[in-house]
Structure 1
Amino acid sequence: MTIPHDEAFKKLLQTFFAEFIELFFPELNALLDHSHTRLLMQEQLVDIVGEEAKILDLLLETRYKALDAYILVHMEPQASHQKSFPERMFIYFSRMFERYRKTHRLIIPIAIFTADEGGEELDSFEMVIPGREIVRFHYWKVELRRHSWRRFVDSENPVAAALLAKMGYNEKEKKEMRLAYLRMLLRLRRKLDDARMALLMSVADLYFKPDLEQDGQMLRELMNDYPEEGEAIMELMPAWARTGYEKGIEVGLLKGKEQGVVEGKAEGKAEGKAEGKAEGIAEERMMVVRKMLAKGLAAEQVADMLDLSLEEVKTLSKS
């Protein structure tokens, strides 16, 4: 079962709301008191846009320091270009204003554009006639592809790590960017609990496509740079599980070689090598499955990440 992108992305924004605002809107961040932030329940949002019966992607309540009052922050992720998007943001704002104007002093709308290509997105909706401006509505926006990934590689912000692969980079920079992401994870694991680490990794993994040769090179490079972090490196990159795990292959080859030498026959050596390789991969996958399940991931999610059947995941978890 594939993790729905929208669900994972919204969970990231909800969990790391303060970090998201700090990363992309530092001026706004200075005005907010995040200790009072809470997500409004979905049932409060139903029918907020009238006949569409739309549930807003994310509506959070937080405190605005200068006013000493509660305000609303509406965050709307958008994965593709839509000509009518500014109009839709205005409609959302209008309905929220109508509903919450007596209880909340401000409503801050934020659009997060995640598409990999396309022209610059608008951040306003307007209605004008000659000589008269009827409406001009502005909202904050983030276009991830317009931010260079290099700007974030030294950041300790978990949102920067989760979204690094959606930032602007070219094909030649792909491996360098992915290595930077893994190094960010190695730093973040010292300050985040397992559940939060699993969340940001599950989001980031949606944007990375496995590459057997490149992943193997990165694994060896990281193992050389951080020899004491071997086990952690394997845990931090679920995509490697799909390629058979270089570590498991190397362990298996070593076992096979030793078994073949003891037997002293070419045939035994070849069989031992193959056997050892298979054992090494199976053992590594079993360890990884157990660790991922222990971190709170569902068996269906583990199956999808490791390219295994649900039955295989259940068997490995009990082996």
Structure 2
Amino acid sequence: MDNRTGRNEYDRHWKRVIHSLFEDFVAFFSPGLYEMIDWDKPPDDLDKEFQRLNPDGKSRDREADGLFKVYLKDGSEQWILVHIEVQGWKDTDFAERMFQYFYRIFDAYDKKIFALVIYTEDYSETYTPPRYEYNFFGTKLSYEYNVYKIAEQDENELLQSTNPFAFVILAAKKALYGKTAAQPTKLELKKQLLRVLAVMKDRLQLDKKDLLTLFIFMDHMIKLESQYQQEFNQEIKNWEGGTMITYEDELKQEARKEGREEGREEGKREGRQEEKIEITRNLIKLGIPLDFIKKATGLSEKKILEIKEGLEKE
């Protein structure tokens, strides 16, 4: 699995857990905002609209993001926007792009915006400041947004939380700790999380849908080699703290669903690549300069030269 494929899979699981537990998500990160929202009106997912607002460049391969429309109890304000970013890689332009997102969203909707960035990696002192500042000969602006750093969270507080989304943060923190750990250590981390989830299930009276959502997120955050995953799968059948629960059928369905999604995405990528190659072939035949072809197709110079060489051999 290359880095982009791995990042896309990582993004997908973050997006899924946020979408599935969105009400708990808002309550966890902004209790004040949660109290203002009219939850009798389902939030609207503006993901497709948000993608059209994306700044150009590296943002296309960025970590998980999302935009939701929520309705408030206060009739004087019909609705606001919740802008979410899950950031897991160092990006010196991140604060600037957060500002770009803000003004594009504000320009498109002219509504109030709650912006939140969740940092999933530990960059210590190299975190991007939670603001974008601009100053040019007396023209100034400063844009600040909410920041949450998973690496800095207290595990005991997460364990005591009555919000199911605390388990998401705990799983992400354990995954960060186990990122460079040996397989036996990763296996033990997953077993610990499974025991925590079993207790949380009873303490918070989680329904099966939410329980499965949390389990799937945790299962994908910490990847195990085959033999260790098999041992973990056996552990699933013997949960501590209560009822025996088996998720094999649900997990098989999930795997099939992911396979279909990945297949569709792979098909789309292959289709776009073939289209770019065909456009490149036509441009080469017309004698278009290489620099123009690079800009028009996004292909590398090496790839374009390979296509040109292939044409010359035909």
Could you say what secondary structure the match of 2:160 adopts?
coil
Match status 1:29 vs 2:41: no
Where structure 1 has 5 or more consecutive residues not aligned to the other structure, the ranges are 236-287, 303-319
Corresponding residue of 2:193: 181
Corresponding residue of 2:9: 4
**TM-aligned CA deviation for residue 148 of structure 1:** 1.9
- Kept in 1: contact 2:87–2:119 (CA 8 A): yes
Question: Which structure's CA Rg is the greater one?
Answer: 1
Where structure 2 has 5 or more consecutive residues not aligned to the other structure, the ranges are 260-314
Can you list the C-alpha shifts for 1:53-102, whole angstroms capped at 9, x where unaligned?
9699311011234544201111111111211000000001111111111x
Corresponding residue of 2:68: 60
Match status 1:299 vs 2:256: yes
2:88 corresponds, among 49, 70, 79, to: 79
TM-score (norm 1): 0.61
**TM-aligned CA deviation for residue 164 of structure 1:** 1.1
The sequence identity of aligned pairs, in percent, is: 22
Distance 2:229 2:131 in 1: 42
Corresponding residue of 1:316: none
**1:50–1:21: structure 2 CA closer, same or farther, 3 Å change rule?**
closer
**1:17–1:135: structure 2 CA closer, same or farther, 3 Å change rule?**
same
Can you list the C-alpha shifts for 1:119-175, whole angstroms capped at 9, x where unaligned?
333211011358x57101011111111112221113342222133132278679988
Match status 1:207 vs 2:221: yes
Structure 2 matches for 1:154-233, cutoff 5 A?
154-167=160-173, 178=190, 180-189=192-201, 191-210=205-224, 226=241, 229=243, 231-232=244-245
Distance 1:39 1:90 in 2: 23
- Kept in 2: contact 1:162–1:201 (CA 8 A): no
- Kept in 1: contact 2:71–2:78 (CA 8 A): yes
Can you list the C-alpha shifts for 1:34-56, whole angstroms capped at 9, x where unaligned?
33342334443343246569699
**1:97–1:152: structure 2 CA closer, same or farther, 3 Å change rule?**
same
- Kept in 1: contact 2:50–2:66 (CA 8 A): no
Could you say what secondary structure the match of 2:38 adopts?
strand
Corresponding residue of 2:135: 128
Distance 1:18 1:151 in 2: 20
TM-score (norm 2): 0.62
How many correspondences in the alignment? Answer: 241
**1:38–1:291: structure 2 CA closer, same or farther, 3 Å change rule?**
closer
RMSD: 4.0
Could you say what secondary structure the match of 1:160 adopts?
helix
- Kept in 2: contact 1:14–1:39 (CA 8 A): no
Could you say what secondary structure the match of 1:74 adopts?
strand
Could you say what secondary structure the match of 1:297 adopts?
helix
Can you list the C-alpha shifts for 1:246-284, whole angstroms capped at 9, x where unaligned?
xxxxxxxxxxxxxxxxxxxxxxxxxxxxxxxxxxxxxxx
2:143 corresponds, among 134, 137, 140, to: 137
What amino acid sits opposite 1:80 in the alignment? W
What amino acid sits opposite 2:196 in the alignment? M
| Greater displacement, 121-130 / 203-212 | 203-212
Structure 2 matches for 1:251-262, cutoff 5 A?
none
Distance 1:292 1:170 in 2: 25
- Kept in 2: contact 1:148–1:167 (CA 8 A): no
**1:138–1:301: structure 2 CA closer, same or farther, 3 Å change rule?**
same
Distance 2:255 2:54 in 1: 34
